Amino acid sequence: MTWDLLNIIAIIAFAFSGAIVALQEKYDIFGVYVLGLAASFGGGYIRSVLMGTPVKPIWEQGILLYTGLLAITIIYMLPKKWIHSWNRWNDFFDAVGLSAFTIQGAVFAMSLHLPLGAVVLSSIVTGIGGGMLRDVLARRKPMILQQEVYAVWAILVGFVIGLGWVDKDSLVEMYSLFVIVTVLRMLSIVYKWHLRLRELPN
């Protein structure tokens, strides 16, 4: 139940985010769907390849694929003036998707009984993979490669779950962690928390 709901939450959030970015970049309808699906499913596919687990084709994703397509369609069909309002929510959608996918990635690795390092890696890749793919396709500099405090939250989730500080079988603890990570990500945006940047002399 926890796994399914986190998947759906993350798929919707990143589908919205990918579609909004595509519209910002003035992509056509095909581009909107490509970026939406890339953001939604990219992290999971990259994780599966790294973990050596079977990669399920996107057309076999069932309800998740239909959920993503519906979310993208909703964004695409909204009036332009609504899109500008929804654009303000893009950071929120990205934060929700990041939080849900990082937790899902860590739980995935734990279910395979992998060591702590693999749990953290799975959390990072699942959480940021889709967003990175979205930004690359949109010809934007990926947030994780800038000063943004982005991957830090994925690393934190990986350690918290991998070390057993949060019970992955507890619905309350999983969703509490989800809310905490989402709030931390939003706070890092609002207060412009950044990693240290070392500039080289000209």
Three-state SS sequence of 5-52:
HHHHHHHHHHHHHHHHHHHHCCCCHHHHHHHHHHHHHHHHHHHHHHHC
The contacts of residue 106 (CB under 8 Å, 6+ apart) are 119, 120, 122, 123, 126, 157, 158, 160, 161, 162, 168
Query: What is the rounded distance in angstroms from the CA atom of residue 6 to the CA atom of residue 168?
Result: 12
User: How many CA atoms within 13 Å lie on the side-chain side of 141?
Assistant: 4
Phi/psi for 88 (5° steps) reads -65, -20
> 108 and 161 in contact (C-beta within 8 Å)?
no
What is the pLDDT at residue 123? 94
CA 194 to chain centre: 19
Please provide the distance, in angstroms rounded to a whole number, between the alpha carbons at the two ends of the chain: 54
Q: Which residues of 134-143 are buried (b: 16+ CB within 10 A; e: fewer)?
A: bbebbeeebb
What is the pLDDT at residue 86? 64
- pLDDT tens-place values along the chain, 202 residues long: 566 787 888 898 889 889 988 988 889 999 999 999 999 999 989 998 888 888 887 778 888 899 999 999 998 988 877 766 666 677 888 888 889 889 989 999 999 999 999 999 999 999 989 888 988 999 888 777 765 677 888 999 999 999 999 988 888 899 899 999 999 988 988 887 777 666 666 6
pLDDT tens sequence across 64-110: 899 999 999 998 988 877 766 666 677 888 888 889 889 989 999 99
> 157 and 181 in contact (C-beta within 8 Å)?
yes
For residue 48 the two structure tokens come to: 């599966």
Entry field: residues in the chain? 202
pTM of the model: 0.86
Which amino acid belongs to residue 103?
I
